Structure 1
């Protein structure tokens, strides 16, 4: 247990260090000397009138690259589900920013950066119903204003424009006007303009330059027919299409917001879901404590451990709900509450696997000493569970675009699978031991009952792991974006069912076959000897149990 204590202390230090960089739904990512050809910045589910704000700054690109042949920029794709988007599954050696990819009719917006002309070319493809708000190039802004006037001509021209309609006979005056217009275009400031992407497919944004670094920004308002899951990515096609790996740097600030707050469409119901499930788990924990008090003479230490697990699970869900509430209202969590949530989440995960291993080994029910093999399982499961929870915390507090994000995501997936596999070994060992004992000792019928119980427990664990790790995830990637919160609902409901069934199977009751098994082999032999002698017929053996109560074992004859 000293190893578990050291792991928990280390996890506590990591909690305090990592939470300082937590940015929640207001995302800030800085990449320096990056060489990846694609960076997943973020995914977010937008309802109608949702707002996306993207601000790119400190962009530094190698000047030796021909960005016409090897484009660089951002893609903003839209999908109705969380599955693999067609624009994010590019083949090796191709670039999603190149023209051949633009023949697809699915919604896509490209932002192609051109440092030579100091512009960002926007190409909207597929069905669009979004408003783009950005600083356009002067000539583009003037064209957009003129196009708006042509679409909605005024009944009476403005006074300052009436003189322009009169014929001018003086050629010098005409030439002077032209020169003035050219001068005005050079000095015309970049203006922020609202453009409807439904009618406009191509336009140019202004790219600012300051001491060798570039910056630009834009806002987008989602239309009523453009709701969906949006995925923002950065692409540096030079490193994809050539062997030479060049480095680049930039900082990006992304703010996403629906009308109700900063949560994605799939996350809006989570705060209410978690607080409701916390109430359900708390009620189940109270019922379990009442059952323990009612059958206090059949209660073992592990029963109270199961009660502690239910209470910690409830408290963890409460902090999780509060966490999402503040993210929705302020865009980021309160650090103190986030620390409490992560601590309870870590304790819940470690306590769950410890309880399952103890039940599987029969500790406190049948024996009080763990074998060497069972101790090794604890030495593996406890540190791995701490590592898995630390990986989860790092993922929660790290931006999706950072390279460490995917590393810790893979570590979490691998460690979780190892832990799930490890907790099955004690149950398998118990089943094998009971199979051997049922054919050798005198309590074959009772051993068969306990064998049946362990088999049910094994099936329950396998079903729980299979559903929460595979089935629920498959449902998540196939559901519409606004219903993906159902994944969390299914996981919590399946956890509740698993807790209730485990408590029912191993409840403290006099008729539970798990608790009726003799405490050691000496009891079995003594019972057999006493019943074989006719002189001792009717005599029963009395043995004091661990909780101080005298249990009377009557003879079978």
Structure 2
């Protein structure tokens, strides 16, 4: 059954499901023991409309039927189930093979009612992330003095996200028009999706740990976090690819879906630890090293970033899923709108907080140490400070007059 982005769908499915508005289904099933023509005679008298004639060919049976959903009252989710009556008797179960071919189509195309808006949605969001990336690069080019490597990593994340959504949108277009995805586009989407997931969690973890802004070297605990998050992200993306290329009726569909959800939650929880450690480090430093004002300012900002990360994880992993379950099937595309919209808002707010500006508290290292205080006192007492202006240092160690 088409309608899901990914690699070509297998034609083996016992219980296929589909969200659809007005749709038609053509099913051809072949199985090895089935109801014979003689057994059907008694059933035909009871309800002739519910009995399908079986064709017999090469020791197998086949039948087909056509369903048209023509009114609003009939629209909704439905399922197709196959039951082998001979296997209802214990101890007499017989193996069987079944092949199901389903063709589903709405008036607008092959996508279901909940997926029809996704082509335009992903295209618009791809343009938004591209515009955000271009704007961020222009900001970096104008403020090269305060730019760090992590700023360019943030730009790469925005462009990778834009490209991933572009391939996703094109993939949905071909599914809607042809009934099946283009394998090459699906592979490109999966590659960019994997890169986007890895870059997102790496960037959040680096910012949360204060790397380049507060310190230059990651601690052993933070390195261990990276060693856990990156492999888990690879596993989560593999699970995503398997789910996208499998039918809902496949035996391992539910298992991979649970794996994806569990791994994603573990990754989201793991990236919060560097932020918590940075907050604790700044909180301890504010009362011990004498630089209370600077450290308290950074502590307040990192707490804001911690709240941002919590809200982003909460909205995309919990609220969005609850919305998908609660709304009617025609509006389930709102789930993707909420996820992509909250991701864009998170990117914009993160860029705003960490923009390369000389007066940004995130980018200012402690401006004075004990030697600076002693030297300042000596120079003031000797009169050397007359006519000189104070120098501030940014996190890069360069001086701003």
> Matches of 2:203 and 2:356 in 1, distance apart?
16
* Rg comparison, structure with higher value: 1
Matching of residues 332-481 of structure 1 within 5 Å? 332-481=180-329
How far residue 316 of structure 1 moved from its aligned partner, in angstroms, is 0.8
Change (3 A) 1:257 1:499: same
Higher relative contact order (CA 8 A, sep 6+): 1
Asked if residue 60 in structure 1 is aligned to residue 32 in structure 2, the reply is yes
How far residue 371 of structure 1 moved from its aligned partner, in angstroms, is 1.0
How far residue 236 of structure 1 moved from its aligned partner, in angstroms, is 5.6
Q: Is the 8 A contact 1:361 1:426 kept in 2?
A: yes
Please point out which of 299, 304, 321 is paired with 2:169. Answer: 321
Q: Look up the match of 1:524.
A: 369
Matching of residues 37-186 of structure 1 within 5 Å? 39-47=14-22, 50-57=23-30, 59-61=31-33, 114-115=35-36, 117=38, 119=40
Q: Look up the match of 1:228.
A: 76
Greater shift, 525-534 or 380-389, is seen at 525-534
TM-score, scaled to structure 2 = 0.89
Structure having the larger proportion of residues in strand: 1
Q: What SS does the corresponding residue of 1:209 show, helix, strand or coil?
A: strand
Matching of residues 205-354 of structure 1 within 5 Å? 205-225=52-72, 226-235=74-83, 247-354=95-202
> Matches of 1:364 and 1:387 in 2, distance apart?
29
Q: Look up the match of 1:22.
A: 7
How far residue 46 of structure 1 moved from its aligned partner, in angstroms, is 2.2
Q: What SS does the corresponding residue of 1:43 show, helix, strand or coil?
A: strand
> Matches of 1:211 and 1:235 in 2, distance apart?
21
TM-score, scaled to structure 1 = 0.65
Asked if residue 550 in structure 1 is aligned to residue 396 in structure 2, the reply is no
How far residue 214 of structure 1 moved from its aligned partner, in angstroms, is 2.4
> Matches of 2:262 and 2:107 in 1, distance apart?
38
> Matches of 2:42 and 2:319 in 1, distance apart?
42
Q: Is the 8 A contact 1:42 1:233 kept in 2?
A: no
Greater shift, 200-209 or 429-438, is seen at 200-209
Q: Is the 8 A contact 1:44 1:231 kept in 2?
A: no
Q: Look up the match of 1:65.
A: none
How far residue 549 of structure 1 moved from its aligned partner, in angstroms, is 4.1
Change (3 A) 1:237 1:349: farther
> Matches of 2:48 and 2:208 in 1, distance apart?
63
Structure having the larger proportion of residues in helix: 2
> Matches of 1:333 and 1:460 in 2, distance apart?
36
Change (3 A) 1:242 1:458: farther
Q: What SS does the corresponding residue of 1:205 show, helix, strand or coil?
A: coil
Q: Is the 8 A contact 1:46 1:230 kept in 2?
A: no
Q: Look up the match of 2:3.
A: none
Q: Is the 8 A contact 1:265 1:482 kept in 2?
A: yes
Q: What SS does the corresponding residue of 2:323 show, helix, strand or coil?
A: helix
> Matches of 1:548 and 1:528 in 2, distance apart?
18
Greater shift, 538-547 or 340-349, is seen at 538-547
Q: Look up the match of 1:195.
A: none
Structure 2: gaps of 5 or more residues: 1-5
Change (3 A) 1:453 1:544: closer
Q: What SS does the corresponding residue of 1:28 show, helix, strand or coil?
A: coil
Q: Is the 8 A contact 1:381 1:422 kept in 2?
A: yes
Q: Is the 8 A contact 1:43 1:232 kept in 2?
A: no
Q: What SS does the corresponding residue of 2:50 show, helix, strand or coil?
A: strand
Q: Is the 8 A contact 1:447 1:517 kept in 2?
A: no
Residues 456-505 of structure 1 deviation map (CA, whole Å, 9 limit, x = unaligned): 11111111111111111111111111111111111111111111111111
Q: Is the 8 A contact 2:143 2:356 kept in 1?
A: yes
Change (3 A) 1:294 1:245: farther
Residues 122-141 of structure 1 deviation map (CA, whole Å, 9 limit, x = unaligned): 9xxxxxxxxxxxxxx7x89x
Aligned residues: 391
Q: What SS does the corresponding residue of 1:217 show, helix, strand or coil?
A: strand
Change (3 A) 1:532 1:472: same
How far residue 543 of structure 1 moved from its aligned partner, in angstroms, is 8.7
